[in-house]
Structure 1
Amino acid sequence: MTALPHSYKDPLLTLQDVSMQFGSEVILRDLNVQVLDVIRPGISQGQVVGIYGRSGIGKSVLCRLLSGLAAPSTGTVRVGEAQQPVQPGAVGYVQQRYPLFNHLTLRDNLLLAAHRKHDPAEAQARTTDYLARFGLTAHARKYPAHLSGGQRQRAAIAQQLLCSEHLILLDEPFSGLDVAMIDEVKRLILEVTTMNELNTVLIVSHDIATTAALADRLWLLAPERDPATGQLLPGATISPRHQYNLAQLGLAWHPDVEAEPEFTQFVEGIKAEIRGS
């Protein structure tokens, strides 16, 4: 497949020499990865990064580091155009249960988030805009308990976008969903990325094919072997060979990419890497 025209600007997310250990147990080791602002001619295009790894490899720990909820043992996580050290709230973290305040209406949940970044008038305007953008206006006065799972997910993503710095981390967004709901979530993610070219969606998922079809960049979290001894090194990392640029491979931004043989071959290769890790 032919790569669509694109170029890159400044970094929006940087992990530099990041390691994490608990006591003597090394969980993550020497993470050096970066997300750059991608530019497509005539299109407002955000970034989608897929993050994979077998169960127990350290993805949950990585999520906490990316969201600023935990500090790495060594190294730094920097976010945004200014590349400041990540703080809690800078990266919107949408967990599987779609946490919302149950005692607040949907509108008040979003308004509370908007007030964290904007003055009262701007917060009101942005809340109204996001309710419309995410198809939630008719449900604005409902409480979370009265929303469907899909509505709660849309609300949680809108909430985090309103209070974060253009970065959203989705933890298993396709888990337990039927085909129709998966398609709805895919449309939602694509809409988020076209709202602002700085919007960056990080997807941690076991659904490799679905995530790869949305992503322009993939990271595989896996252990590495010592080249001298062949022994597994402690902790997981994202080595250069496990950082895949789907845009350069011609697999990004194609609506029907999942039907292409090149895409199927790529996904099967990733699965083989995971099985061998």
Structure 2
Amino acid sequence: MSTAYEIRETLLKLEGISHSYNGRPILKEVNAEVKNVHIPGREQGQIVGLLGPSGVGKTTLFRILAGLMEPTSGKVLLGADAHPVKRGTVGVVAQDYPLFTHRTVLSNLLVATNNDSAKALNMLERFGMAEHAKKYPSQLSGGQRQRVAIAQQLLCSEFLVLMDEPFSGLDPVAVKNVIKLLGEAAAVDEHKTFVLVTHDIEAAIETCDTLWLLGRDRDPAGQPVPGARVQRVIDLMACGLAWRESITSDPEYLRVLSEIQALFPQL
């Protein structure tokens, strides 16, 4: 059964993003947007999956979205007032979940809140990590470090958090745990928006409400033309696959998975 929802204001807009390196186009006219999704009676943020083959330009787009790199042309706009992205306003969670090793869990969050202990403790409660507040990162499991890293970045970002390969190198049980964690993190606030860069198509379908497929155009001979753009947007909300658990046996999940797997060689 599909969840009733309402599409509201634009939260993130990629407007004509192009980038070249040594004269070679990496990205070409990347256009995409994320809108606020309102579900009556509950908080529900957005989770977008950025998929594409290796070397297509996902890392470059990731850095541009984070405000860490200026595109050759185009812009990234945040919020209903469409202000340009700036370094430090977007949360970034790298693959190794970096934290300040000399600080406790609570202290890591206090750095992100300008020492607002009530705000930091509330976030730890929401992530089920309050009992670990006095521990150091070295005393946590990988999954616990990831929880703290996401909580930290939620606190220090306006509303956008980027994650680099959150499922990489994980066993199936750990992948399921990360999927669950991301669902919980997105439910912190209606405006919280996650963009996940990943190669894991199956996990992306299970986790996200929207998928962006980044790829290159092809010339008449079928050869890739330099410069990638968003070739396809897959709306998992409209497919009835968003905000649900245990969808892997659903015929619609299998259809979407087959569609993406067929598209990938041409991206």
Establish whether TM, by shorter chain, passes 0.5.
Answer: yes
Q: The TM-score by the shorter chain falls in which range? A: over 0.9
Number of positions where the alignment pairs a residue of Structure 1 with one of Structure 2: 267
**Structure 1 match to 2:43:** 44
**Structure 2 match to 1:157:** 150
AA matched with 1:14: K
After TM superposition, the runs of 4+ consecutive aligned structure 1 residues lying more than 4 A away are 228-231
**Structure 2 match to 1:90:** 89
Please give the alpha-carbon distance, in whole angstroms, between the structure 1 residues aligned to 2:171 and 2:103. 28
Q: Secondary structure at the match of 2:248?
A: helix
Please give the alpha-carbon distance, in whole angstroms, between the structure 1 residues aligned to 2:208 and 2:69. 26
Q: Secondary structure at the match of 2:257?
A: helix
Q: Secondary structure at the match of 1:5?
A: coil
- Normalized against structure 2, the TM-score is what? 0.95
**Structure 2 match to 1:212:** 205
Please give the alpha-carbon distance, in whole angstroms, between the structure 2 residues aligned to 1:72 and 1:45. 31
Gaps of 5+ in 2: none
Please give the alpha-carbon distance, in whole angstroms, between the structure 1 residues aligned to 2:50 and 2:163. 10
**Structure 2 match to 1:132:** 125
**Structure 1 match to 2:10:** 11
Please give the alpha-carbon distance, in whole angstroms, between the structure 2 residues aligned to 1:179 and 1:237. 31
Query: Which residues of 2 match residues 1-277 of structure 1 at below 5 A?
Result: 3-115=2-114, 120=115, 123-226=116-219, 232-239=224-231, 242-277=232-267
**Percentage of matched positions with identical amino acids:** 43
1:130 offset after TM fit, Å? 1.2
- Normalized against structure 1, the TM-score is what? 0.91
Q: Secondary structure at the match of 2:254?
A: helix
1:145-165 per-position Cα deviation (integer Å, ceiling 9, x unaligned) = 222111111111001001001
Give the superposed CA RMSD: 1.6
1:74-108 per-position Cα deviation (integer Å, ceiling 9, x unaligned) = 00001123321111122211000111111211111
1:21-63 per-position Cα deviation (integer Å, ceiling 9, x unaligned) = 1121111110010000011222221111011001111111111
Please give the alpha-carbon distance, in whole angstroms, between the structure 1 residues aligned to 2:143 and 2:48. 22
Gap change, CA 1:243 and 1:188, over 3 Å in 2: same
Please give the alpha-carbon distance, in whole angstroms, between the structure 1 residues aligned to 2:246 and 2:96. 30
Q: Secondary structure at the match of 1:258?
A: coil
